[in-house]
Amino acid sequence: MKMAFLFYCFIILCCVDHRATLEDDQGVPLIAKYFNTKGRYEEVNPHLRRDALAVNRSVLQPPSPQCREIHLTAIVRHGTRYPTARNVKEMQQLHSVVLNNSTGESSRLREILSQWTMWYTEDMDGRLVQKGVEDLKHLAVRLSKLFPSLVSEEKLRGGLIRFMSSSKHRCVNSTLSFKEGLTEMWHTLMGFVPADVEFGHEVNDALMRFFDQCTRFVQEVDGNRSAVIEVQKFKQGPEIVRVREKIAERLGVPSSFITHDLAEAAFLLCSYEFAVKAVNSPWCQLFDEEDAKVMEYASDLREFWKRGYGHAINSRSSCILFHDLFRRLEKAASENKSRRQVSEAVTVQIGHADTLLPLLTLLGFFKDTAPLTSTNFASQTQRSFRTSHMMPYAANFLLVLYDCGEGGIRLQPLLNEKPLTFPGLTDQQASIPLYEDVRQHYRDLLNGCFCEMLRTHFENN
């Protein structure tokens, strides 16, 4: 009897302890902070888990009390989405390995996983999910709380808020969700639906999907396997091989069955089950924290060579968006200086991680001293180029233009509602630099940034 009781206690302690290593007290998998671009926005702003509409206005401390916000540009990534058709295929393959590639060795985890129902289908193809709708609605409300004089019903009614979207359905639906977030809020606050307000949006792939249109980028990097050779090398390197062996062990299948693609599919299943359905699925148990860091690095390596500092053309492909941004800032600053009303108070541009990463790179953010390579995983543990922090769903790059009277016109950048510092630009008097200094800092790009187009036969003729 006593023995049975002790045994019972042992089981409880052991299981509680085991659970504790897998998730925190809110049911969040401990590896959720390594999900790269498949991570939740809540992981980079944990206070939102308690209140999705909470804002911290103290992060927006203008250099002096007389500063007024005159313009906001928000470049936003779409919200939480389904996996793409290609990823769904890999997930299905992994699932069938679990179901019918046992070697007779028993694995408790494989048993659990064989009970799991594969519910992802190829036709989901990257569509926005309900959580993604919420991501954008909540962001809209928070931005209106952070910038009440700009993201306002009055400005909207006056046609001073402009929306732009990539043509992908997940982006268009994100744009609609953002707008719905605003209308619902104003409806609640004022008791009526703001009527007949100009509420259209423009679809613009030249700006929001420049990466498809920059010929040199497409040829030299996007369609060129040797441009991402470091990723291929890392996939065959000791760190990933060890992760694959550990997954195979946990599943009780021969390690040759777990290719890198299947390891990636398992990591994606864990991240999608969490982002889409908020469940800590058994797939997550295939990875301990060290494994997750390795998987995270493999993905960062890819982004680094395809969208980041790996090749100069990656960031140059975003020149068109860079110019669009500065043209608008320039216009707002000069309108205000000449005491005219700023004609575009807010611009909301909804695109992709692939839209934001090259632009942030062009501006010099998140640059480490050494490049990410297949052999420096260990020395890059403190890297700043970390997509898990930079690019969760609904990631947003905000540029706030202030008129500070005597203090001049100033520009503050924020990523995911947290202030950034323009690299190499430190204002002695204030944390927010003068707009003119920012312009000076980027003058070479302002004068000569473009995605060089290759001459075609037509042009030669």
Ligand X SMILES: *[C@@H]1O[C@H](CO)[C@@H](O)[C@H](O)[C@H]1NC(C)=O
The residues assigned a catalytic role are 78
Binding status of residue 317 toward ligand X by CB under 6 A: no
Residue bearing tokens 């390891």: 263
Among 49, 64, 68, 194, binds ligand X (CB under 6 A): 68
Binding status of residue 342 toward ligand X by CB under 6 A: yes
Among 9, 13, 56, 103, binds ligand X (CB under 6 A): 56
For residue 72, the surrounding DSSP H or E stretch is: strand 68-77
Return the number of the residue (100 or 382) whose C-beta is nearest ligand X: 100
Q: Could you tell me which of 8, 45, 46, 9 has the C-alpha nearest to residue 25? A: 46
Please, what is the minimum distance in Å from the beta carbon of residue 308 to ligand X?
14
Site map for ligand X, 70-89, x if CB under 6 A?
A: x-------------------
Binding status of residue 115 toward ligand X by CB under 6 A: no
3-state DSSP assignment of residue 21: coil
d(CA 185, CA 216): 44
Return the number of the residue (294 or 345) whose C-beta is nearest ligand X: 345
Return the number of the residue (40 or 71) whose C-beta is nearest ligand X: 71
Binding status of residue 97 toward ligand X by CB under 6 A: yes
Please, what is the minimum distance in Å from the beta carbon of residue 395 to ligand X?
19
Please, what is the minimum distance in Å from the beta carbon of residue 11 to ligand X?
33
d(CA 74, CA 64): 23
* CA dihedral sign, ordered 222, 224, 229, 231: positive
Binding status of residue 59 toward ligand X by CB under 6 A: yes
Q: Do 329 and 411 touch, CB atoms closer than 8 A?
A: yes
Return the number of the residue (22 or 432) whose C-beta is nearest ligand X: 432
Among 180, 184, 205, 220, binds ligand X (CB under 6 A): 220
Binding status of residue 312 toward ligand X by CB under 6 A: no
Among 230, 239, 300, 403, binds ligand X (CB under 6 A): 403
Return the number of the residue (303 or 403) whose C-beta is nearest ligand X: 403
Among 341, 429, 431, 440, binds ligand X (CB under 6 A): 341
Q: Are strands 418-419 and 409-415 parallel, antiparallel or unpaired?
A: antiparallel
Among 257, 330, 407, 441, binds ligand X (CB under 6 A): 257
Binding status of residue 224 toward ligand X by CB under 6 A: yes
Binding status of residue 276 toward ligand X by CB under 6 A: no
Q: Hey, what are 310's tokens?
A: 């790996």
Return the number of the residue (66 or 381) whose C-beta is nearest ligand X: 66
d(CA 169, CA 187): 26
Among 80, 87, 173, 387, binds ligand X (CB under 6 A): 173
Cβ density class 56-93: b for 16+ within 10 Å, e for less: eeeebebbeeebebbbbbbbbbbbbbbbeeebbebbee
Binding status of residue 20 toward ligand X by CB under 6 A: no
Q: For the sheet with 68-77, list strands across it.
A: 202-203, 161-165, 346-351, 68-77, 396-403, 409-415, 418-419
Binding status of residue 214 toward ligand X by CB under 6 A: no
Cβ density class 7-45: b for 16+ within 10 Å, e for less: eeeeeeeeeeeeeeebbeeeebbbbbbbbbbbbbbbbbb
Please, what is the minimum distance in Å from the beta carbon of residue 47 to ligand X?
5
Please, what is the minimum distance in Å from the beta carbon of residue 21 to ligand X?
27
Please, what is the minimum distance in Å from the beta carbon of residue 123 to ligand X?
12
Phi-psi region of 86 (alpha: psi -120 to 50; beta: other; left: phi over 0): alpha
- Phi, psi (degrees; rounded to nearest 5) at 209: -130, 45
Return the number of the residue (255 or 375) whose C-beta is nearest ligand X: 255
Q: Do 379 and 184 touch, CB atoms closer than 8 A?
A: no
DSSP letter string, 382-398: T-S--HHHH--TT-EEE
**Applying CB under 6 A, which part among 127-135, 201-209, 232-240, 433-441 lies near ligand X?**
127-135
Which residues contact ligand X (rule: CB under 6 A)?
A: 47, 56, 58-59, 68, 70, 96-97, 99-101, 127-128, 133, 169, 173, 219-220, 224, 226-227, 257, 336, 341-342, 403, 405
